[in-house]
Amino acid sequence: MTKRISRFLSLVLCASTVGISRDIVDLRGTIIDLAEKPVSGVVVTVPSLGLADTAAADGSFRLTSGAMHVSSFSPSPTRPSASENSVRFGVTEPNQHVSLKLYNAAGARTATLADKHFAPGDYTVDVLGAVRANLASSHYVLSMRRGKANDVFTVLRAGPGTSLRRRVSTSREKARIKTLGASDDGFRATELIIKKEGQTLHSVPLNANVDTALSILLNFIPSVYMDKAEELPDYYQRDDAYGGFVNGGSVYCGPTAVSNSIIWLADNGHARLAPNSGDRKKDQHDIIALLASSSYMNLGPAGVGPDGVTRGLNDYVHDRGVPIEMLHYQGWRPVSSEFRTGVNIPNLDWIKTGTIGSSNAYINIGWYSHDEGSDTWTRTGGHWVAVVGYGHDGGGPNPNSLIVHDPASRAKFNEYWELSRLESGTMSGNYRGLPRSAEGFYKIRGRNGIVDCAVVLTMPDDSPASVARALRLRNLTGIDANY
């Protein structure tokens, strides 16, 4: 099968205001191949509280094509500078507080390089060394605060190399944001909306003050991703090899789905995740049995829910001394707070992104009976599958299709599940979190299966194959705000 090379396009829009609470807002879109197509249809709207004196009647501004490039700046006490591997800055006030913090694309702080008071003088912080030692290949934002001043740099970590990208100029952004209405402690917005050709791609509430380092980062994912579809195992949960599993493996879908990616990760840079006896199928059988045990997922008579899957997977990986970059969850069923994202309806783009590179996604399908008269979906059970790709339905491109490996299927081939969003109805059943509205949830075409929840595991991406994928990000094309 022809492998498609992933194409990534990132957008960074930074705005400087006064406030304290949110450094990064992360949005993910599905606009494809913007490197070859105009972007005039992409509009960002920021409705504000109170009076808004905006240039456009709808409070929107337009993004136009631009290019990110590496820039250097002459050192001075008022303007920090960036080389390929460090940030230089000056302190002129006695005992001035300076913080340097790195944030990832999800908006989470990943490293603190400095957070203390400095005496007057000139300083250099080695960003290259810190990033290489602690962070996986990805795109980061470096936020630097000196007193009330804030400077922002973008950082690209690609395999063994790291480069500081241009210092973000905020003069235009600051002037534009000022028109949105101010409060005593900063500028406040209620919502940020991304649109393309009139269609809303994302609407993100901004309930806190817009921070001095507000950075809107869009990662445009490839329309079709099948790089791993033929590489991940597809273990049958009822396989009786090596003695099989308890009760014929009837409720072993959770640990089986997760084991597929554990074997793949072990073979792609994270060898400690799996034994290597020379019999890979036996190795995977043993992993499934261990994941199902009381030490990890603690499989019960009805299988395992998302809380058991997230806790068990997290503990299994950490017990093998392997760091996790991210283990997050979306869905309505309860899980530990450390994995929750606050998203109750699984986002299809988030699931898609969770299949790329070192990320692996698992979805829990709820089986429902449907009463058409009352439009009620009653949950009767559930099932875990591994998502191994998307955007293709076996016959051609299909943006609504996920490619899955189903532990309940004896056949060893990709399954293509076309999803559609429910526009009405109620989900009910004897489960915590039900009843609830069914509107917005994804249903499998031709089956009474609803995507109840999704789990995404992302590992540090330093394997040779992953580094090769990450290095493609060096040809990054950017978009700058122009208003």
Q: What SS3 class is residue 140?
A: strand
> Residue 230 domain-assigned?
no
Would you place residue 353 in the very low, low, confident or very high pLDDT band (cuts 50, 70, 90)?
confident
Q: Which is higher by pLDDT, 147 or 379?
A: 379
**Are both 189 and 246 inside the same structural domain?**
no
> Residue 426 domain-assigned?
yes
Distance, CA of 388 to CA of 233 (rounded, Å): 10
Q: Are 141 and 167 in contact (CB under 8 A)?
A: no
**Are both 279 and 362 inside the same structural domain?**
yes
Name which of 249-253, 291-295, 462-466 the model is least confident about: 462-466
Name which of 210-224, 294-308, 447-461 the model is least confident about: 210-224
The total number of structural domains that make up the chain: 2
Q: Which is higher by pLDDT, 179 or 252?
A: 252
Q: What is the pLDDT of residue 141?
A: 61
Distance, CA of 371 to CA of 405 (rounded, Å): 29
Q: What is the pLDDT of residue 87?
A: 74
Q: What is the pLDDT of residue 376?
A: 98
Dihedral sign for Cα 224, 397, 66, 62, please.
Answer: negative
Q: What SS3 class is residue 263?
A: helix
What CA–CA distances, in Å, run from 378 to 421, 432, 453? 17, 13, 16
**Are both 181 and 36 inside the same structural domain?**
yes
**Are both 176 and 246 inside the same structural domain?**
no
**Are both 176 and 255 inside the same structural domain?**
no
Indicate the pTM of the whole model.
0.57
Q: What SS3 class is residue 466?
A: helix
Percent of the chain with pLDDT over 70: 57
User: 3-state secondary structure string, 177-189?
Assistant: HHCCCEECCEEEE
Mean pLDDT of 357-370: 95
**Are both 363 and 281 inside the same structural domain?**
yes
> Residue 480 domain-assigned?
no
Mean pLDDT of 36-43: 32
Does residue 162 register a pLDDT over 60?
Answer: no
> Residue 2 domain-assigned?
no
> Residue 1 domain-assigned?
no
Mean pLDDT of 305-327: 95
Tens digit of each residue's pLDDT (9 = 90 or more) over 428-445: 999 999 999 999 999 999
Comparing CA positions, the residue from 27, 191, 24 lying closest to residue 107 is: 24
**Are both 66 and 161 inside the same structural domain?**
yes
DSSP states of 404-457:
EE-TT--S-S-EEEEEEE--S-EEESSSTT-SEE-TT-EEETTSSEEEEEEEEE
Name which of 180-194, 316-330, 350-364, 367-381 the model is least confident about: 180-194
Q: What is the pLDDT of residue 104?
A: 54
Boundary (domain end) residue, out of 187, 222, 257: 222
> Residue 395 domain-assigned?
yes
Across all residues in the chain, what is the average pLDDT? Answer: 68
Contacts 24+ apart (CB under 8 A), 462-467: 462/136, 462/137, 462/159, 462/269, 463/268, 463/269, 463/270, 463/358, 464/269, 465/268, 465/269, 466/137, 466/159, 466/268, 466/269, 466/357, 466/358, 467/137, 467/158, 467/159, 467/160
Tens digit of each residue's pLDDT (9 = 90 or more) over 40-78: 333 333 333 222 222 233 333 332 222 222 222 233 334
Q: Which is higher by pLDDT, 463 or 255?
A: 255
Tens digit of each residue's pLDDT (9 = 90 or more) over 372-401: 999 999 999 999 999 999 989 999 989 899
Q: Which is higher by pLDDT, 466 or 10?
A: 466
Does residue 272 register a pLDDT over 90?
Answer: yes
**Are both 273 and 149 inside the same structural domain?**
no
**Are both 49 and 76 inside the same structural domain?**
yes
Q: What is the pLDDT of residue 85?
A: 61
Burial of 469 (0-12, 13-18, 19+ CB in 10 A): buried
Q: Which CATH number characterizes residue 398's domain?
A: 3.90.70
> Residue 476 domain-assigned?
no
**Are both 291 and 318 inside the same structural domain?**
yes
Q: Are 156 and 217 in contact (CB under 8 A)?
A: no
Does residue 365 register a pLDDT over 50?
Answer: yes
Would you place residue 134 in the very low, low, confident or very high pLDDT band (cuts 50, 70, 90)?
low
Q: Are 61 and 40 in contact (CB under 8 A)?
A: no
Domain range for 424: 241-467
Q: What is the pLDDT of residue 394?
A: 93
Q: What is the pLDDT of residue 126?
A: 73
> Residue 236 domain-assigned?
no
Distance, CA of 132 to CA of 158 (rounded, Å): 9
Q: What is the pLDDT of residue 56?
A: 32
Q: What SS3 class is residue 319?
A: helix
Boundary (domain end) residue, out of 222, 257, 272: 222
Tens digit of each residue's pLDDT (9 = 90 or more) over 2-26: 222 222 222 222 222 222 122 222 2
Name which of 24-28, 146-150, 255-259 the model is least confident about: 24-28
Pairing between β-strand 149-158 and β-strand 138-146 as defined by DSSP bridges: antiparallel
Distance, CA of 449 to CA of 379 (rounded, Å): 9
**Are both 25 and 68 inside the same structural domain?**
yes
**Are both 215 and 337 inside the same structural domain?**
no
Rounded to the nearest 5°, which phi and psi values hold at 468?
-60, -40
Q: What is the pLDDT of residue 166?
A: 36
Rounded to the nearest 5°, which phi and psi values hold at 261?
-75, -30
Distance, CA of 245 to CA of 38 (rounded, Å): 55
CA angle, 249 as apex, 248 and 251 as ends, to 5°? 130
